[in-house]
Amino acid sequence: MDTIRLDGRLLANQIQARLKEEIRYLSHPPHLAVVYIGDNPASTLYITMKTKAAESVGIRTTIQKLPEHASTEEIVRFIQILNADPSIDGILVQLPLPKHIDTNAVIESILPSKDADGLTSKNQGGLMTGHPTILPCTPLGCLRLIQQVRTDLTGLNAVVVGRSRLVGRPMAQLLLNENCTVAQAHSKTQNLAEICSRADILVSATGVQGLIKRPFIKEGAIVIDVGISKTEDGRIAGDVDASSVMGQAGWLTPVPGGVGPMTVAMLMANMVNIVKHEF
């Protein structure tokens, strides 16, 4: 069988075109504050992608850059100022943060109603309990890609490899909410290939280059590769050994060009929903 490429860039562009039209009818253009600590080159690249996408749809962005040596307390105080600013609709803290910073404390300092990334405990708790909430961007983008293949996921077997707060845990819950039967695997899981090979939907978010190979894939499965790492020659690679799964997977997201653009598009969608109070 031929493996079909799930083009995240194409879908993201379609979503952003619809958002651009929707923003014209809002009470005001959404305003996103991006908090950036230090000088991580990858973070700089991601922020550029997000601000360009925001500008293209009519979302205003303000970049708030803090020095590498900023303390957790200083960052939290700064976020509290943004929380109190009525002109700011959403706040995003670019991750990862420098190692000396308490990432959890920083995330939890964001007002849940301004949590553009959907990572605060209140918003993640809303996802777990089925209450309206701001959803995490990357898992939501993955779900939208999966729904390009199947709109009704009821009864399908899904495996999520990874259990992070950012992707793995909320991804599993989103699939549960779509009536999938979900298994969550991680670094301590035994017989990983056997577990993955039963999945109609496989989402891998470990950052372990080439972890997912052909024996892990059920014939015809939808495979979503969230992992990003660099090869020895500087290329970007994912969790999935794409060359080995071609012809086995039914659908596969490329790296790059799969999940990444969808993460940005879902951030834009979250900002629109924040202004509309649809959460």
* Domains annotated on the chain, with CATH: 27-116 (3.40.50.10860), 136-260 (3.40.50.720)
Distance of CA 235 to the CA centre of its chain: 21
Give the pLDDT confidence of 197-226 residue by residue, as tens digits: 999 999 999 999 999 999 999 999 999 999
Q: Which of 241, 240, 254 is nearest to 205 (CA)?
A: 240
Count the Cβ atoms, other than its own, within 10 Å of residue 67. Answer: 10
User: Is residue 232 over pLDDT 90?
Assistant: no
- The band of 53, judged by pLDDT with boundaries at 50, 70 and 90, is very high
Place of tokens 């799964």: 245
Percent of the chain with pLDDT over 90: 90
Q: Which of 198, 206, 217 is nearest to 171 (CA)?
A: 206
DSSP string spanning 103-168?
A: HHHHHHTS-GGGBTT--SHHHHHHHHHT---PPPHHHHHHHHHHHHH-S--TT-EEEEE---TTTH
Counting Cα atoms < 13 Å in the Cβ hemisphere of 231 gives 10
Averaged confidence pLDDT in the chain: 95
SS3 state of residue 235: coil
Helix axis angle for 259-276 and 41-57, nearest 10°, is: 50
Q: Is the dihedral of CA 58, 59, 65, 68 positive or negative?
A: negative
Q: Is the dihedral of CA 198, 203, 206, 209 positive or negative?
A: positive
Q: Which of 235, 186, 229, 183 is nearest to 208 (CA)?
A: 229
- The band of 6, judged by pLDDT with boundaries at 50, 70 and 90, is very high
Give the pLDDT confidence of 11-38 residue by residue, as tens digits: 999 999 999 999 999 999 999 999 999 9
User: Is residue 279 over pLDDT 70?
Assistant: no
Instruction: Respond yes or no on whether the N-terminal peptide bond of residue 136 is cis (omega within 30° of 0).
Output: no
> Which residues are marked as active site?
50, 94, 117
Counting Cα atoms < 13 Å in the Cβ hemisphere of 272 gives 21
Counting Cα atoms < 13 Å in the Cβ hemisphere of 56 gives 17
- The band of 263, judged by pLDDT with boundaries at 50, 70 and 90, is very high
User: Is residue 278 over pLDDT 80?
Assistant: no
Please tell me what DSSP assigns to residue 101.
Answer: S
Q: Are 137 and 263 in contact (CB under 8 A)?
A: yes
Residue 230: what pLDDT? Answer: 83
DSSP string spanning 190-218?
A: SSHHHHHTT-SEEEE-S--TT-B-GGG--
pLDDT mean over 257-273: 97
